[in-house]
Amino acid sequence: MKRKTIQNSFTLSGIGLHTGTISKITVKPMPDEHKGIIFIKNDIEIKADVKNVLTTKRSTTLGIKDQSIKTTEHLMSAIFALEIDDLYIIVEGDEIPILTGSAEPFCDALKKAGIIEKEGEKEFFVIDEIFEFKVEETGSEFICMPSEYFEARALIDFKSPVVNKQFAEILDIRTFCEEYAPCRTFGFFSEVEELLDQGLIKGGNLDNAIVIADKKLSDEDIKRFSKKLNIDKIDMEEEGILSTIPLKYPNEPARHKLLDFMGDIALMGMPIKGRIIAKRPGHYANIEFAKFLKQKAVKQKKLKGLPKYDPTNEALFDIYDILDHLPHRYPFLMVDKIIEMGEDYIVGIKNLTFNEQLFQGH
């Protein structure tokens, strides 16, 4: 499968969620080089890679030297889902614009720019065995298993009567832009109010975010919150949900968590073939998991083409079966067991132990 970039450049601008200032990004094709996704800020190149993650507090921040870019996850999720490998992203400002609080504007802009193939083959990280990864600090768990395509499921569990346990699942990455990208970021009332009091999330509003009540809200609570957002009046359209736009899906928070997860693991730097179940994902846990996947990908690349041998698997023929088939005896019995057979090949194992003649005298 060929690598992909875009055909035409495009620019998006808007307010930043955390800084409240206007940011602009210009996304450009990378037709010739195979450098991956490269952010550029003040002429400094910052590769979209887990090694360049500076912090995961409230969003994922990439940086190098004295340059940093906040809130990369929504843009990266769109790039990952559209299977784009190489881009330049010039950033003017301190963060990626929040826009609608989702990945939808990025999906739309990337598709409109034209996604094209280029020279060079994609290199996938292939999940070829079942394994799991836990992040004790957050109680997060990631379970991986083989699949021919990328599939993912996110399970969330919040102590809230409104959003308690939810899950979202993507089985076909081609459905991302329509069914997952529009889902907005969210936060809980108590947490959001505290951040507003601290002068943070200056670009947040009820158009680009969902606020979920984590306690019973009085009229006074809502009135006070409205004032902090400079809104005349907030109506609670759905039980426990503060937003100017109705929920797009009953499980919109879980879908957004899946969106964030995809944007974060994109920083491992390779497309993935495999199924991942993410329990209680979050930026910190996602990035720790992405680091783990990258280590496995490096190891997989080193072992590419080499036969895999699991000593715990039962042999097709053990030493006694071989003795029944061959007239040879020690020391000319050169095979101890047969582990695999095909139409035109046989894989056998010979154990080298200290009693072998080649070791005598050493």
Active site positions, annotated:
283, 362
- The answer to whether 292 touches 133, Cβ cutoff 8 Å, is yes
DSSP string covering 214-234: SSPPPHHHHHHHHHHTT-S--
Q: Which residue has the tokens 């969330």?
A: 156
CA distance 84 to 268: 14
Q: Which residue has the tokens 């179940």?
A: 277
What phi-psi label fits residue 153: left (phi over 0), alpha (psi between -120 and 50 degrees) or beta?
beta
Could you tell me which of 11, 7, 27 has the C-alpha nearest to residue 87? Answer: 27
The Cα angle at residue 61 between residues 59 and 65, in degrees rounded to 5: 165
CA dihedral sign, ordered 80, 86, 92, 94: positive
- The answer to whether 114 touches 4, Cβ cutoff 8 Å, is no
Q: Which residue has the tokens 């057979």?
A: 341
Helices 189-197 and 219-228, packing angle to 10 deg:
40
CA distance 360 to 215: 76
CA distance 146 to 153: 14
- The answer to whether 153 touches 169, Cβ cutoff 8 Å, is yes
What is the DSSP-derived secondary structure letter of residue 98?
-
Residue 35: which residues within 8 A CB-CB, separation 6 or more? Answer: 47, 86
How far the first Cα of the chain sits from its last, in Å, is 51
